Each structure stands twice: as C-alpha cells, then as structure tokens.
Amino acid sequence: MLNQLQTIDLVVLVAMLLVMPTAGIIVALRQKNAEKYFLAGRSIRWWTVAGSVFGTNISSFHLIGMLGIGFSIGFVQTHYEIVFPAILLLCYVFLASYRRLEVFTLSQYLEIRYNETARLIYTILLVIIILVQLVGAFYVGSITLQWLFGGTSFSISYQTGLLLIGLVTCSYTIWGGMESIVITDTIQTVMMLAAGTAVAYFTFSQPEIGGFFGMLDLDAAQPRAVQKMHLYLPSNHPSLPWTGVFTGLMLQHCFNFSTNQFLVQRVLAASSNADARRGVIASGLLKLTIPFFSIASGVAAFYLFSARFGNSTDFNSDNAFLKLVETVIPQGVGLTGMILAGLTAATFSSVDSMMNAATTLLTLDVYKKYLKPDASDAQIVRFGRLTIVGMVVASILIALYTYTPDRSNNFFLKVSSQLSYFTPGIMVAFFFGILWRNANAKAAVFAMLLGPIYGLATEWIYDLFLTNNEAIRAVFGTKLNFMHRVAVTFVLSSATLVLLSKYVFKDRNDAGFQLLQVNLNAPQLFRKVGVFLAVQAVIIGAMLALDLTARSVAPVGALGAMAVFVFPNPKNIFKDDLFWAGLLTALSVFVYYYFA
C-alpha cells in the first residue's frame, strides 16, 4: 500500500498520528494521584465522555470487521450498533448508584452489594474478557500495519506490528493514565469518523453504485433471499438470527454498557451525573452513524466489486475495507493518509482504554485489596504503570502464538462469541443485585461462576442431542448461535440466583442493597418501557392489519417512541436528558422499521 502513498499522504498520516501521543504526553506531565490516574480526577465533561466511550467501543476491529460483515452478510450487522436499551439501563438504573458510591471499579460496587468474593470473581472474569479483547485489537492492528507497509522496502512483520502498537500506546498511557486516554480517545473519535465518512462518500459516489439510495435500488433488484439491506435473518441463520439479536445480543449490549468496567469507567470519571448521562447518550447517537458509513459501505463494496471485478464471492470479507480504499479513494490529495491515520487511531483507542481498565482492576482489587492494603497513592500509581507493561507484554505474546497473520472471515463475530461465555452470569449478579432486595451474596457468586459452565453445557447438549431433531434444527440451525446460548445461559444463571436466594442461602445484605437505592429511576424507566412496547405493538398490529410496509410506518414508529419520552413534560425538552434519550430511541426504532 505504501507504494501508492504520495508525499502528501505520508505527511498527513504522520502528522495526524503524532497528535495522539503528543496530546497524551502533555497531559501525562501533570502530577497524578490515584484518582487522577485511574478516573481523571472525576472531572471530564459530557463531550469527552461521548468521545471516550465511542473511541473505546469502536476500533479498527470494528471499522474493518463491520464493513467486512456488511460485505459478506449484510446490513443486519447494524444490530451491533443499536444499543439504546443498554444505554437507558445504565443512565436510569445503574448510573446514580455507581457514582453515589464513588467507586473506582464495578467490582467494588459488587463488594458493597454482596461480598469480597463477588468482587474478586468479577475482577478475574473482567481481566480475562479484557485480555481477549486486547489480544484481538493487537492482532487486527498488526495485520493492518502489515498491509500499510506491504510490498515495499519498509515492510514490517506481524511481530513488529505488535511491538509498534504496544510502544505507541504505552508512550502516553503508562504516564498519563485515564486523563491522557480520554483526551486521545476524543481525538481518535474525530479521526475515525473522518476516515469512515470519507470511505463511505467515495464508495457511494462510484457510478456502479449511484449513491446510498442507488445502492438500495441495486439491492432491491436482487431476489429477496440474497438481498443484503435488511435487518432480520431467519432464526436458524448461523451468524445473526433475528431471535438471537433480540435476546442474547441485547443482553450483551447491556453487559457492555452497564456492567463492563471497560466502558463504565468513563461514566465514573464524569464531572456530574448529567455529564455522564449526556455523554453516554451522545455516544449511542455516534454509534448509529456506523451502520451507514461502515456496514452499508460493505454492502456497496459487494455490488461494486461484483460489477468491477466479478470475483466478490471469492473475496475474503475482512479484506474488503482495505481493498475498498485502494479502489475508490483518489490518490495524491492526502485522503489515503487521512484514512489510514483514522484506521490506526481506531486501533490505539481501544488498546489504551482496555489497558487502563485492566490495570485499574488489578491495582485496586488485587494489589490494594490483598497485597498491600496500606499502599500510598504513589505506590498505587507505580503498580498501575507496571501492570500496563505486564498486560501489553502478555497480549503481544498471546497474539503472537495464538493468532496467525492470515485473517479468516468475520473475525469480529468469532471474538464476540468467545467473550460471551463469561458475561451472562455477571449480568445476572448486577441486575438482581440492584432490582431485588433478596438477592443473596453466595447465590450471586454461584451465578457468576456457573455462567461459563452453563454456556458450554448448553452447546454440548444442543450439539449432542437437540440438533438431531429436525424441528429444532429448522428453528435454531445445525449449530447453536452464541446469541441463543447467551439467552439460555442468562435464564439458567438467573434461576440459580433466585432459587439459591429463596431456598438455600436466605440471608440478605439489606444495608448494601439500601446503599444502591440513591435516586434510582428504575420504576420510571420500566413504566416508559411498558408504554413504549404497547405503542409499538399497536403500530405493528395496524401495519399487519392494513397490509402496510414496514418502511412506510417507520416515521410513525419513531414519533411514537419519541412521544413516550417527551410526554407529559414537553417544556424545556432540549435541556432534559430524556429528550436526548428519546431521540436515540426514536432513531433506532426508525432503523428497525425502515430496513425490516
């Protein structure tokens, strides 16, 4: 790729990439205590929360992987970016409690609600989850750098790419902590959006595509069975069944945005509850842009490559982004350099955030809790810095010996599947902990520990016994999709916690439960959820009765969703968090209908 880069591209690429470590290092020069190092002094404003949450959640892993899935499967991947239920759960159920307790980690929250064992188990499981994600980010980032310099005298190996990513992110993360990360994440968000938008613009501008609506026409001209611009695939689809996206995937979203240290740490670092809520809602709105500049671009790439090269069916989907840049981006004006800078920034944005989250957990929940309870701020920060080095070295070694540079199709979905064994039990402990007074500490521990076992057992039973049943196979496929497995595991873990709390371990931590009930808006949220579902049920019923298309009722569905949040307090709606939460929900509902 480098032999196609002209001087202007190299200048733009280097200049943009230097902005990140420079900004991070400048912030790192400030003296740090533990609160500033791990939570940026709890002082970041909503726009920085939004940029950091988005930058943390989106990486080159997403930009490459999402476009690749759009290329190979279609727009259905959009379900990964519609996260409004999880954001509402965080903003109006968990957020006030998290921030009122002034915890550094969500494991500390579990100790207050349950006991020390629950705290330790969460720490162990989250470090495993973060490590898997971190290894994936190193892997995708390294092969991206290989592609960038491939075929030139500056070619780098897969191993060298891993080292470069580690060195760059460590250059500001080790010394600056969260304060450096939120600044660089915000810069990286702007770079990612610019890169994604540029690729989308030039892809849709190709004469074979004829714009976004031209692409919709191309897709509509295909037989329904092979059309790509739809959100719902059969329940037995191996990758993205509609029954799975509304059960297991929704639960995964709730884990990521409500109970995952990786993302929630930004909420803990906000200057106020209002900044935290607005920042998270804004990040949800930013995520809704990804289907249109990334996933839809992948669909457009499928039709473009089919028309221009005639070999799209044999093309490795995870290379679609890179091939698209080579194909559609004008040379000699710096755009290729800008896009590559955005792609590289996307890699760094997730790596630095994951390192910081894992370090926070290990430092405060292991070192400070068990190894040196009397540690000073300086000792805590020093251990945190050493832990970052350890996490980077471990991630590079794992990426080196467990992944190969030859990427297989839809890597994004494979990593999502791997991580989902650990999440249902964690979600059960958090959800029942804040919503049910009788949730017992030992029962919560069993729910978290048994979650991965339930997941493995569910797959084993399905593969050994249930897949032989033709009726079951027709509904769920020959292999149980991980989203269905997550839903089953969540039910089993919930049953474990409830049954053990009611009949085995009956003692309660009333004091811990009471501490969580600060400004809890769950009843208000649940009422709105009930009204929202009722409104949408009426709209869907009318659509079916009158034989209307889902696309034609999309505006009505969106307005109905918005009304639930705005009514009955329409005054000063633009200053009310509920307005922006309603806007996020309305836009999401519109997408659900329009691309049905």
The 3 state secondary structure assigned to 25-61 is HHHHCCCCCHHHHHHHHHCECHHHHHHHHHHHHCCHH
Listed range (1-10, 39-48, 366-375, 527-536) with the worst mean pLDDT: 1-10
187 part of a folded domain: yes
CATH of the domain at 34: 1.20.1730.10
Report pLDDT for 444.
96
Select from 368, 396, 419 the last residue of a domain. Answer: 419
The CA distance from 378 to 102, in Å, is: 20
DSSP secondary structure string, 556-590?
HHHHHHHHHHHTT--TTGGGSHHHHHHHHHHHHHH
Asked if residue 577 is part of any domain, the answer here is: yes
Q: Is residue 365 part of a domain?
A: yes
> Does the structure show a pLDDT above 50 at 345?
yes
As given in the structure block, the two tokens for residue 472 are 């079951």
Phi, psi of 341 (to 5 degrees): -65, -40
Q: What's residue 287's pLDDT? A: 92
Q: Which pLDDT score is estimated for 58?
A: 77
Residue 21: cis peptide before it, omega within 30 degrees of 0: no
27 confidence band (pLDDT: 50, 70, 90) = low
Residue 107 amino acid letter: S
Query: What's the CA gap between 554 and 540, in Å, rounded?
Result: 10
Domain-located, residue 101 = yes
Closest to 321 in 3D by CA, of 240, 412, 417: 412
For the stretch 258-281, pLDDT in tens is 999 988 988 888 889 999 999 999
Asked whether the predicted pLDDT for residue 152 surpasses 60, the reply is no
State the Cα–Cα distance between residues 535 and 541, nearest whole angstrom: 10
Residue 407, helix vs strand vs coil: coil
Band of residue 5 on the pLDDT scale cut at 50, 70, 90: low
Residues 537-578: tens digit of each pLDDT: 999 999 999 999 999 999 999 999 998 887 766 555 666 788
Question: Tokens 């499981």 appear where?
Answer: 125
CA-CA-CA-CA torsion sign (586, 350, 185, 426):
positive
Residue 567 has a CB neighbour count (10 Å cut-off) of 11
CA distances in angstroms from 465 to 238, 293, 473, 490, listed in the order given: 18, 42, 11, 21
pLDDT higher than threshold 70 for residue 239? yes
Residue 223 forms part of a structural domain: yes
Boundary (domain end) residue, out of 419, 448, 479:
419
Angle between the 320-328 and 296-308 helix axes, to the nearest 10 degrees? 60
Predicted TM-score (pTM) of the model is 0.88
Q: CA 580, 585, 590, 592 torsion: positive or negative?
A: positive
The span from the CA of 126 to the CA of 23, in Å, is: 29
Q: What separation in angstroms does the CA of 401 have from each of 141, 158, 159, 398, 405?
A: 16, 11, 10, 5, 11
30, 102, 178, 533 from 33: Cα distances, Å: 10, 16, 11, 47
Asked which of 200-209, 288-297, 314-323 is least confident by mean pLDDT, the reply is 314-323
Q: Are 86 and 253 in contact (CB under 8 A)?
A: yes
Which residue, 419, 449, 479, sits at the end of a domain? 419
Most trustworthy range by pLDDT among 376-380, 423-427, 579-583:
423-427
Q: Write phi, then psi, for 44 (nearest 5 degrees).
A: -85, 145
Q: Which residues pair with 241 in a beta bridge?
A: 233
- Cα–Cα distance measured from residue 376 to residue 366, given in angstroms and rounded to the nearest whole number: 15
Q: Are residues 337 and 196 in the same domain?
A: yes
Are 154 and 12 in a shared domain? yes
Does residue 385 have a pLDDT over 90?
A: no
Q: Answer whether 340's CB lies under 8 Å from 148's CB.
A: yes
Distance CA 28, CA 23 (A): 9
Confidence of residue 192 (pLDDT cuts 50, 70, 90): confident
Domain span including residue 557? 522-594
Q: What is the rounded average pLDDT for all residues in the chain?
A: 84
Mean pLDDT, to the nearest integer, of 180-206? 84
- Whether residue 289 sits in one domain with residue 402: yes
pLDDT of 2 reads 46
Confidence at residue 497, expressed as pLDDT on a 0 to 100 scale: 96
Q: Residue 414: inside a domain, yes or no? A: yes
Residues 362 and 221 reside in one and the same domain: yes
Of 375-379, 411-415, 487-491, the range with the lowest mean pLDDT is: 411-415
Radius of gyration of the chain (CA): 24
572: Cα separation from own chain's centroid: 32
- Secondary structure letter of residue 518 according to DSSP: S
Q: Which residues contact 457 (CB under 8 A, 6 or more apart)?
A: none
Q: Please give the pLDDT value at position 113.
A: 92
pLDDT of 32 reads 61
Token code pair at residue 86: 């999880």
- Of residues 304 and 341, more confidence is placed in 304
pLDDT band at 333 (very low <50, low <70, confident <90, very high): confident
For residues 130-149, give the mean pLDDT: 77
Six-digit token string for 383? 């251990």
Q: Kindly report the CA angle at 176 between 20 and 141, in degrees rounded to 5?
A: 45
Inside any domain, residue 278: yes
- For the cut 80, the answer to whether the pLDDT of residue 490 exceeds it is yes
233: which residues sit within 8 A by CB, 6+ positions away?
73, 76, 239, 240, 241, 242
How do residues 83-131 score in pLDDT, each as one tens digit? 999 999 999 889 888 988 888 899 999 999 999 999 999 999 998 888 8
What share of the chain has pLDDT > 90, as a percent?
36
Determine the pLDDT at residue 406. 54
Percent of the chain past pLDDT 70, that is, above it, reads: 88
Which of 24-33, 36-45, 421-430 is predicted least confidently? 24-33
The answer to the question of residue 76 being in a domain is yes
Q: Give Cα 289 distance to the centre of its chain.
A: 14
Quick check: bond before 405 cis, omega within 30? no
The string over 39-62, giving b where at least 16 C-beta atoms fall within 10 Å of a residue's C-beta and e elsewhere, is bbbbbbebebbbbbbbbbbbbbbb
Residue whose structure tokens are 């057992």:
457
Domains identified in the chain, total number: 2
Q: What is the mean pLDDT of residues 35-48?
A: 78
Question: Is 270 strand, coil or helix?
Answer: strand
C-alpha closest to that of 328 among 3, 4, 14, 58? 4
Q: Look at 443 and 20; give whichever has higher pLDDT.
A: 443
Is 173:390 a contact under the CB 8 Å cutoff? no
pLDDT for the residue numbered 151: 57
